[in-house]
Structure 1
């Protein structure tokens, strides 16, 4: 795997080495010990989710409250996505910083998203499918939704026509409202003990 740290501290892009021949291709998509070595955090999958989206569907921004917290390893397994991670950890020196990735089935590229970092994507193809390998199971009431079109964040989604969004995402609060409500994770609470956390 080739690994690159993004502009959001703790978020990494993993690009596998493809082995190709006349039959097609093979690649290793995920190895827990390699993710742990790179991130310095334990990562054991607790749940795997998929979503399928029509072209020009915008999903996100989504996160999970801390506690329980949740790290994600996200891969596009069909089609292509413009994927964005945003640092929404209150007190982070890079609060509001984002990183844009092109995730597509051909490359097998994946993104590791640490606790407190929000995630969303715009589907670039019909029937795009994304796989989420997550560190904690779904707990009702712990989801955090931030409006992906919040002008404070000004994320470069790159759509040329109005995207298809769920009512929940379209009506989600902006980042300032989320800060005021106390729903966002605190930077220090997302750090491991070796990073100076609790």
Structure 2
């Protein structure tokens, strides 16, 4: 596997070694030993999640606060998405900055988003199956988020705003400047 760091410390792109032949392909999608070596510390994933969405669906920007904060290892097994991580760690030199990664069933890449980042994605293909591992269990009371269209974040979601399908809940998320203490410090 190849590890590609991003401008946001801790967020990395993982590209597996894919073995192709006339029958199809094979790759190792996860190895705890190799993954922990890549991130430099032990991450114990405890929950796997999967979503199916259609083109234009924008999910995020979400995070879990406090003792329920989550690191995520995300990938796409069908279709293509633009995945986004936003640094919400107070005191971080990249606070409020974001990174985007195109994840697809074709490139087999995975994106690791550690605790202290808001996360979201938009579906670029007709449909997409999005899978992710979490290192902590979901806790509704610890939910947090930022408005996907916050002008201060200046995220290019890869589709015209009129084509984005956003849940009512996500439309009510605060701007970064109004989010208050998100519970992460560097």
TM-score bracket for this pair, using the shorter chain length = over 0.9
> Counterparts of 1:10 and 1:149 in 2: how far apart (Å)?
24
Q: Does 1:148 align with 2:148?
A: yes
- Between 1:9-18 and 1:151-160, the stretch displaced more is 151-160
Mapping of residues 103-182 of structure 1, within 5 Å: 103-160=103-160, 161-178=162-179, 180=180, 182=181
Greater per-residue strand proportion: 2
> Counterparts of 2:22 and 2:183 in 1: how far apart (Å)?
48
CA contact (8 A) 1:66 1:116 kept: no
CA contact (8 A) 2:124 2:158 kept: no
Following TM superposition, by how much is the alpha carbon of 1:40 offset from its aligned partner in structure 2, in angstroms? 2.0
User: Could you tell me which residue of structure 2 aligns to residue 186 of structure 1?
Assistant: 184
CA contact (8 A) 2:78 2:129 kept: yes
The superposition leaves residues 107-162 of structure 1 with CA deviations (integer Å, 9 ceiling, x where unpaired) of: 11000000011111110112201101110111221111211101111111121233
> Counterparts of 1:168 and 1:35 in 2: how far apart (Å)?
33
Following TM superposition, by how much is the alpha carbon of 1:47 offset from its aligned partner in structure 2, in angstroms? 0.4
> Counterparts of 1:142 and 1:15 in 2: how far apart (Å)?
31
User: Could you tell me which residue of structure 2 aligns to residue 14 of structure 1?
Assistant: 14
Following TM superposition, by how much is the alpha carbon of 1:44 offset from its aligned partner in structure 2, in angstroms? 1.5
After superposing on structure 2, the runs of 4+ consecutive aligned residues of structure 1 that deviate more than 2 Å are: 185-188
> Counterparts of 1:113 and 1:4 in 2: how far apart (Å)?
13
Say which SS state the counterpart of residue 13 (structure 1) adopts.
strand
CA contact (8 A) 1:7 1:97 kept: no
> Counterparts of 1:38 and 1:17 in 2: how far apart (Å)?
14
Following TM superposition, by how much is the alpha carbon of 1:69 offset from its aligned partner in structure 2, in angstroms? 1.5
User: Could you tell me which residue of structure 2 aligns to residue 54 of structure 1?
Assistant: 54
Q: Which runs of 5+ in 1 are unaligned?
A: 189-198
Say which SS state the counterpart of residue 187 (structure 1) adopts.
coil
Say which SS state the counterpart of residue 156 (structure 1) adopts.
coil
In the comparison of the two structures, how many residue pairs are matched?
A: 185
**TM-score, scaled to structure 2:** 0.95
CA contact (8 A) 1:76 1:104 kept: yes
